[in-house]
A and B are shown apart, each in its own frame.
Chain A
Amino acid sequence: SQQGEEDPQALSIQEGENATMNCSYKTSINNLQWYRQNSGRGLVHLILIRSNEREKHSGRLRVTLDTSKKSSSLLITASRAADTASYFCATATNNAGNMLTFGGGTRLMVKP
């Protein structure tokens, strides 16, 4: 798989349930970022976790990072219909250009 691959590709849940999305990557990273994209819209930054961090919280979001397994997960608790969107992980390596490499994303649908 390529750098920054999410699974599942699509996830459908009921409002109130938790949603977990996973991301795997191949090379060493400086940080990993999660973004949300509503259909046809821009990318909204959700959370950044650095390579020396293992877990981070922001509101209903919880991100974990396991550098030994080169994987990360995004948990959205108590989901709402407004959480319906595509979620992407993006990795930044130790390069001068701060290039982000995006995965293919998980399409989350939260049914009311």
Chain B
Amino acid sequence: EPEVTQTPSHQVTQMGQEVILRCVPISNHLYFYWYRQILGQKVEFLVSFYNNEISEKSEIFDDQFSVERPDGSNFTLKIRSTKLEDSAMYFCASSVRSHEQFFGPGTRLTVL
């Protein structure tokens, strides 16, 4: 069964450093998303992406964040200058239009 994959599973970085989180969505899906979950808190929407552009973003997704689909398979989330409060589990998801969103296993980001 096709699934969303994410790499790395765990990323440790120093405050102020740039990180890139990678995702490979399900191949025939057209919508891509990033969510995050701070430990013990709700899953929060960051951004959705369709047709090579951002279709919606939350207040969390400020100028420090960017997304890219550099090729036909990868979907990346970049955080330019990480802060301590960026420590969270980051989930990528993909879907066919407004259907079920399928989530990857997540990348745990730890900012020291």
Contacts and interface: CB of A to CB of B under 8 A. Distances in A.
Interface of A: 30-31, 33, 35, 41-45, 48, 88, 90, 92, 95-105
B73 interface: no
A98 B48 contact: yes
Contact of A92 (B42, B98, B103): B98
B52 to A, nearest CB: 14
Given A42-B91, A96-B55, A98-B31, A35 B42 contact: no
Main secondary structure of the interface of A (DSSP, over half): strand
Contacts of A100: 33, 35, 43, 45, 101
B104 interface: yes
Nearest to B46: A99
B100 A97 contact: no
A102 B100 contact: no
Given A97-B48, A99-B58, A41 B105 contact: yes
Contact of B98 (A30, A41, A45, A102): A30
B98 A42 contact: no
A92 B98 CA distance: 8
A98 B99 CA distance: 9
Nearest to B55: A97
Interface in B50-108: 50, 55-58, 91, 93, 95, 97-106
Contacts of A97: 48, 50, 55-57
Contact of B100 (A45, A95, A99, A105): A45
A45 B55 contact: no
Contacts of B33: 98-100
Q: Which 7 A-B residue pairs are closest in the complex by CB-CB distance? A: A97-B56, A97-B48, A42-B105, A43-B103, A102-B43, A97-B55, A99-B45
B48 A45 contact: no
Contacts of A101: 45
